Chains A and B, each alone.
Chain A
Amino acid sequence: QVQLQESGPGLVKPSQTLSLTCSVSGDSISSDFYYWSWIRQHPGKGLEWIGYIFYSGSTYYKQALYSRIAMSVDTSKNQFSLNLRSVTAADTAVYYCARTPGATTRFFDSWGQGTLVTVS
């Protein structure tokens, strides 16, 4: 059974870069069947998809965040990462990584436990 675990700083200063890593176990990140996503949830609010990456390095980002996002993948470590530049208080949220079956109807079938990142 696949497991995902987010890691990274819980506190980031405004205007700096938020950097998170998701470690995947129980499945190979190099699978042809899955994309690997980041999703966030502002305190007390709903869910917001950020983007996903394929093991080849191809990416697809949410249009509204496109200019500030960079995702990368390290297949040797079975990890993928998120960088979000120029953060503000509005980026304070719980950040989740998730596995996305690579079908035309994309959903999120396994999630990490989430990590709270505060911008202050």
Chain B
Amino acid sequence: SYVLTQPPSLSVAPGQTARITCEGDNIGRKSVHWYQQRPGQAPVLVVHDDSDRPSGIPERFSGSHSGNTATLTISRVEAGDEADYYCQLWDTDADFGTGTMVTVL
């Protein structure tokens, strides 16, 4: 299985851009997916297959993948974006990242 490392926390001012990274050995050849989990709620898929957005997810959420790092970018951050964010990929099992708590200042 993969060890996917994310920064534990990230603070960003409203209107600014948040970039959340997900690192793992040789993940460049894997598709990475991202989830948002607001406090007390179930996770919500915000990006799949590196950069595809499910219907209903704002264009402010975008994903990219280069080498051993995948990145979720949230543009024009809003108060409602305050949440935990997890990356995930599929190898022999589904592996989740360690999670990043995003705080909107």
Contact = CB atoms under 8 A, between A and B. Distances in A.
B90 A105 contact: yes
Interface residues of B, number: 25
Interface string A12-41: 000000000000000000000000010100
Interface string B76-98: 00000000001011101111111
A108 B98 CA distance: 17
B44 interface: yes
Given A46-B86, A46-B99, A47-B86, A106 B94 contact: yes
Contacts, number: 57
B42 A105 contact: no
Interface of B: 1, 30-31, 33, 35, 41-45, 48-49, 54, 86, 88-90, 92-99
Interface of A: 37, 39, 46-49, 62-63, 96, 104-114
